[in-house]
Amino acid sequence: MKKSVITLVILAAVAGGGVYFANRYAEDVVKQQVEEANQSYRQLAANGDMPLISLTYKDVSANVLTSSYSIAGLEVSMAELGTVATVEQITAKGVQPRTLADAGSVHLTGAKAAPAILQMLPPQTSAFVQSLALHGDYSYQYQSDGQLLFNQQTRINDEFSLNYNFTLTQMQQFWQYAKEISALAPEQQQELVGSEAYAEQIVEKLLTGALSNGAISIENNGFIERAVAMTAEQKQTPDLETIKGMALLNISMLEPLPQHMKDALTQFVNQPEKLQLSFNFAEPLQFAKVQSGELMPELGSPEAIIEFANLQLKAN
């Protein structure tokens, strides 16, 4: 019995040590990827394609058991301006070097403008921007039947959010091409992305797919009111009530729009809390048919488009 216990302890220690060193190796890989990104930015800046951008961070952690890593204290610097933005933390799951996992997610916390940017703004605008922190959640999932699901939520403090989700179908060729690109070395990827053939190949693969359904929504918890109050104070826009009146007038003039959609827009303008637009095609929308113009005769009016896509608009 004692020998069994000792054996288990030894095995646990070996496994724990293996995970520790694997995590350290994964952290080094992430650090290498950040350095490769910086090298790429330096090359693009040297070519005159963009200002010099560099990334620095305070800490990197990785967990090979969950295929996840985190970067804490990220700073984005630009040429002579210095640090222009900071990010509290980025956590990615389902991420492995030179591999495209069938499911993955990214969680971003606390992206803020840095003092170098704030000092370039008028005092009221600077104070407003300084009060903002951007957060985001992004995820995707590829399924064996060729469906590709995307979800994203972007939030500003607890005051505003933009959300969307889409379901694509028949994405086998596109996904296979994406996996082949992911398997390339970083320098090969950079060379490919910079070539004219890349855009053509991406479009070619994308045209084999279709769009099935999706939704886009915004949720407001005082952000719109606060933003308009700030811009109105600086005489950049009318006050909120004036803007509401102008919006309601425009809605009333949207003749092709069904009355229930006008009602939803009117409700949101009067009480800006939540607005969602969703669509669900009876048959997936083939991208190739959209590009060729084959569907144009069927979509000759706003009413036809609404019916074709089964568009739904809901407020609050």
- Measured CA to CA, the distance from residue 231 to residue 39 in angstroms comes to 40
**Phi, psi dihedral angles at 253 (to 5 degrees):** -95, 0
| Claim to verify: residue 147 and residue 127 sit in the same structural domain | no
The answer to whether residues 71 and 88 touch, using CB atoms and an 8 Å cutoff, is: no
Within-domain flag for 218 = yes
Say what the pTM is. 0.82
Name the DSSP letter for residue 131: T
58-107 pLDDT, tens per residue? 998 887 666 788 889 999 998 888 999 999 999 988 876 677 889 989 99
> Do 28 and 91 lie in a common domain?
yes
Last residue of a domain, one of 108, 132, 156: 132
- Average pLDDT on 105-116 reads 93
**Structure token pair of residue 216:** 């886009």
- What 3-state DSSP class applies to 15? helix
| Cβ proximity of 131 and 159 under 8 Å | no
DSSP codes, 169-229: ES-HHHHHHHHHHHTS-HHHHHHHHTSHHHHHHHHHHHTT-EEEEEEEEEEESSHHHHHHH
The label of the residue with tokens 């069927």 reads 298
> Measured between alpha carbons, how far is 80 from 295 in angstroms, rounded to an integer?
50
DSSP summary character for residue 65: T
Residues 80 and 152 grouped into a single domain: no
In sequence order, what are the beta bridge partners of 111?
87, 134
For residue 135, name the pLDDT band (cuts at 50, 70, 90).
Answer: very high
Block residue for tokens 């969680």: 107
- Confidence at 15, pLDDT banded by 50, 70, 90: very low
Q: Are 51 and 166 found together in one domain?
A: no
CA distances to 22, 148, 170 from 211, in Å: 40, 10, 9
**93 lies in some domain:** yes
Name the domain count of the chain.
Answer: 2
Query: Do 107 and 151 have their domain in common?
Result: no
Question: Is residue 59, in this structure, part of any structural domain at all?
Answer: yes
The label of the residue with tokens 């070395």 reads 185
Burial of residue 71 (CB within 10 Å: 0-12, 13-18, 19+) is buried
Degrees (nearest 5) of the Cα angle 75, 79, 81?
A: 70
Q: Model confidence over 226-281: pLDDT tens digits?
A: 999 999 999 999 999 999 999 999 999 988 889 999 999 999 999 999 999 999 99
Residues 213 and 310 in one domain: yes
DSSP codes, 136-158: EEEEEEE-TTS-EEEEEEEEETT
Domain membership of residue 88 as a residue range: 1-132
Question: What value does the mean pLDDT of the chain take?
Answer: 85
Q: Which of 110, 132, 154 finishes a domain? A: 132
